[in-house]
Structure 1
Amino acid sequence: MSAVGASGGSPLLAVRSLTKLFGSFAACNAIDLDIQPGEIHALLGENGAGKSTLVKMLFGVLAPTSGQILWKGDPVRIPSPGAARRLGIGMVFQHFSLFEALTVAENIALSLSPGISLSKVAEEASRLSHLYGLPLDPKAHVADLSVGERQRIEIVRALLQNPELIILDEPTSVLTPQEADRLFETLAKLKAEGRSVLYISHRLEEVQRICDRATVLRHGKVTGACDPRQETPASLARMMVGSDVASVTAAGTNTKGDVLLEARHLSVPA
């Protein structure tokens, strides 16, 4: 798989006045967004802000009501996920679409051209998974894998399409801290190759850690853009909700009271 060279100037992907209506409700309302080559771009917002609707339009799952999507400066129509992949856009959804009874290689093969042999899929999946620090056994059955390993399948499946832009929807919500650190190393490698990442997350500390820029949505509209490294979690949260977010503190003095439950010399047969 060849690396994608980073370039300055025009965005890799841009949307202009992108709108999606469900009846009279505007899930996305005249959104403008630019994603540069070789950047990790955060998409922030509360639940219901329009993030998922936006990325589904970019990946061809939903059709825009109005507005324009530009890929490398040219207007494009993305009628299906297959069209998005051919364009160079990959996506890893928050909820995985895997068959537990099938192996890793068989699950990956389902999204590829029917002409590719399963042995070739297994070989390439193993190579890519180790290259990007996401090791997988192509012969393992999905039912036997952890949630983190299942996410690796989705990421490797996307990488096999050689994308220039990868969309990740809440990728760390199912990961342990150690697995998240490994994912961040993978994203740094993708960025170094000149690939771009659109990164959706509610975890503001990790957005500050790995993202170059952030666009904030609220009620279906863009309400701000920033360099998250120059912000604080509190200021990012304020952009997301439109007001100050009260800090959470423990109630009471945390002093010990009377014993509520006591046990002595308990045993149970093996």
Structure 2
Amino acid sequence: MTDEQDPTRLPPDTSLNRIALRVQDLDEMTRFYRQVVGLDVVARGDSQTVLGVGDEPLLVLLRDGDAPPRQRTQAGLFHTAFRVPSRAALGSALSRVRDQWRLEGASDHDVSEALYLSDPEDNGVELYCDRPREAWPRSADGTVEMGTRPLDLDAVAAAAAEAEMVPARAVPAGTAIGHVHLETTSLPAARSFYVDTLGFGVQVDDRGALFLAAGDYHHHVGLNTWNRRSEPAGGRGLAWVEIAVPDGDLLTTIRSRLTEAGVGCRDVEDGLAFEDPDGVDIRVRAE
């Protein structure tokens, strides 16, 4: 039975909708996500900035000067991954990072090509583009195989130059939050929550990490224990993650699953909110 047919699994048109970060310096963080990542400012106030593509919000920055720094022992955000629609757009992003910031890593994952950096408050950021789905390597059971090899940065930069996308100050239409990667204190507890209760499918389970997806995408949620976090999430950094599902009936089903699992829910803006086993605030919204 495929995930599309399995009523316990989230449908393939599930997506990551928005991410919110709790920040200390709203002005500096706004500049970074506008100038380096290339997002547009959708709305701006004294206590928050909403950034996205055109009028579509992707990232909410919430000013909280009283929040302490996240401790090295705490679970929480590993990185927010912004997916751009082409290799040329990734090359344009590479140009912005090189001109204005610091590139910390770059990898070819076979399913995607990715750049890695950190924002001014040490939140991880990934900028990536997917390879064509038909080119993704898969195991005999249909799950995705992801590798990690050095990325050919010259070829990525050349793609932007050939498409006349350098310099480009902003990401193009079609940019979205492709996935979120979290640091967890317990992979078994996280797997039980995200797979058995929420309904994501497992694409990769390897080397202290899980990569989970709705449908056959390579992953919408990553989870790892690489840094041996031992305490719940807290402090500055990730405030909440919003998942979009295609209809209200599914939202009702998810609420029932959470209730059966003993997970408390509260109503928020067109959806519901709850905490994962590490205290990360998750929101689910019906499109």
Give TM-score scaled by structure 1 length. 0.31
Give the TM-score normalised by structure 2. Answer: 0.29
Greater percentage in helix: 1
